[in-house]
A and B are shown apart, each in its own frame.
Chain A
Amino acid sequence: MYKKSVRRRRAVLALLVSLSIALLTVYFGESASGGLHAVQRGFLEVLAPLQEGANRALKPARDLVGWTGDVFDAKSENDDLREQNEQLRRQVAALETAERDARQLRALVGLNRSSRFPDGYDPVGARVIGRSPTVWYSAITIDKGSSSGVRTNQPVVSGAGLVGRVSDVSGGAARVTLITDHTSGVSAQLVPDGPNGLVKATVGNPSDLLLDFVQKGRAVRSGATVVTSGWRSSRLESLFPRGIPIGRVTRVDSDERELYQRVHLRPFADLRELDVVEVLTGQSNAAENAQVTP
């Protein structure tokens, strides 16, 4: 009897482990349009309304717990904000002058750009209904999918700045890979006339992003703003339009042995506390053409 029970237990364990490994292998081997991916999207389609319902119903409880945590962070945040306010005041003065100059120059060359940002995109508002629980996958699930015009690789922003890009879509929901995910890369530049680089995540620290591939010798000052560079060549185009704010420079690491300096920045968007985001739809060609280009 005991031996039978032990055999049964081991058999179940072996079966479950084999099944997991088989799923892992098949999933890695197949393309995004494969069978398992399709089943996954179908399942999300069914689960998304449940998630949305739970998200709405339990929001007060979530807010209460979140508020408790926020109280602890409030003091240090207050000091940071005062310092930022000082910097911003100086920047506003400089920008007003620059804007006046730019207006005159635009008039000279005949450009007429709308002040609405970003041009040519149709923002679709979406609610965050799920979040990956591990530190290794920085992703959220939103309640808008292909039925709302959301497509893979479209940029996602919050009121503060860049959040990430759509990495998978079902009919009524989509997965957004955040800029803090280890697979993420965003071509960016320091403004107003700073160098270009690639913004990468630092796993485990969502308050710290890395602007890599910035050549040594290029002046980078603390407090400078980093925005998407939105480059375009004859065949390829960046996924992200030009000028979406990403973050502010906090420090610069310069190692003599390295070719590039590593610029650390703090993202503008609070990626731990996202409730509502906007997907920039309407530029699917750019997204499709630039599937592997950050």
Chain B
Amino acid sequence: MNVSVATVVRLLVLVLAVVVLQLAVVGQISLFYANADLLPLVALSIGLLAGPVAGATVGFLLGLVADMALLQTLGVTSLLLIGVGYLAGRYRELRDATHKLVPPIGGLVATLAYAAAFSLIQFLLGVESPVSPLVIREIVVGALLNALLIIPVFAAVRAFLRADLIDDLRPRRRPVTRLRVTT
């Protein structure tokens, strides 16, 4: 990823826009008793497109801004989104991240892992009410919604950062081979 002042500004704008969109719109839409969550999806997208350092940094900023805006305990969301962005970036470095199924499967896995880790932290910090088994349904349905939502989110993030990306993650076409017909 080319890092310039313009890149940093673009990333900050992206972080702010995503948090506002999540809190004001996406978080208020409830489908099948669950909500989609843009935050892990954007951290994942940045990790897949720009590598672990950018993924972790954007994850940290997303978490920080979200916790600030919601007056929540600072640091919890950041810590988890750093993991999502970093691991997505490492996947890009170690495996083929150009396959079309990588974003949806990644979105599903990342959201499940993020929600599970968030739940674990909440249990460690103390939960003062009984927990319904339906919490699992909410996490799973939310992850499925995110697996669908990652497709436009990934495309939008890629379009937004196209100028800064060194090698764009498009599925590579096979070279056309000419067949020589011999009679």
* A interface with B by C-beta (< 8 Å): 8-9, 12-13, 16-17, 19-28, 36, 39-41, 43-44, 47, 50-52, 54-55, 58, 61-62, 65-66, 68-69, 72, 128-137, 139, 141, 167-168, 175, 182-185, 200-205, 208, 210, 272-273
Contacts and interface: CB of A to CB of B under 8 A. Distances in A.
Given A203-B129, A203-B130, A9 B53 contact: yes
B52 A13 contact: yes
Interface stretch (B4-12, B70-78, B94-102, B174-182): B70-78
Interface of B: 16, 19-33, 35, 37, 39, 52-53, 56-57, 59-60, 63-64, 66-76, 78-79, 82, 86, 115, 118-119, 122, 127-139, 142
Contact of A128 (B28, B131, B139): B28
B11 to A, nearest CB: 14
Contacts of A183: 128-129
A132 B31 contact: no
Nearest to B80: A20
19 contacts: A12-B56, A16-B59, A17-B79, A20-B63, A23-B64, A27-B74, A47-B19, A50-B20, A69-B30, A129-B24, A130-B69, A130-B70, A131-B28, A133-B23, A133-B37, A141-B69, A141-B70, A182-B129, A183-B129
Q: Tell which of A12, A25, A44 has the most Cβ of chain B within 10 Å.
A: A12
A133 B142 CA distance: 10
A184 to B, nearest CB: 8
Contacts, number: 181
Contacts of A13: 52, 56, 82, 86
Contacts of A61: 25
Nearest to B137: A204
Chain B binding site: helix, strand, loop or mixed by DSSP? helix
A54 B136 CA distance: 30
A24 B74 contact: yes
Nearest to A129: B24
A131 B23 CA distance: 5
Q: Tell which of A17, A134, A135, A273 has the most Cβ of chain B within 10 Å.
A: A134
Contacts of A25: 75
Contact of A134 (B16, B32, B57, B115): B115
Given A13-B52, A273-B30, 10 more contacts: A9-B52, A24-B73, A43-B68, A54-B21, A61-B25, A133-B23, A135-B115, A139-B70, A205-B132, A210-B129
A21 B79 contact: yes
B118 A134 contact: yes
A119 B145 CA distance: 45
A52 B29 CA distance: 16
Q: Which 8 A-B pairs have the closest CB atoms?
A: A204-B135, A24-B75, A130-B23, A23-B75, A205-B132, A182-B129, A54-B24, A204-B132
Nearest to A177: B71
A58 B70 contact: no
A201 B129 contact: yes
Contact of A23 (B69, B70, B71, B74): B74
A22 B64 CA distance: 12
B70 A204 contact: no
Contacts of B53: 8-9, 12
Contacts of A51: 20, 23-24, 69
B20 A132 contact: no
Given A13-B82, A47-B69, A136-B119, A40 B74 contact: yes
A133 B39 contact: yes
B72 A20 contact: no
B23 A16 contact: no
Given A13-B82, A69-B31, A272-B30, A43 B69 contact: yes
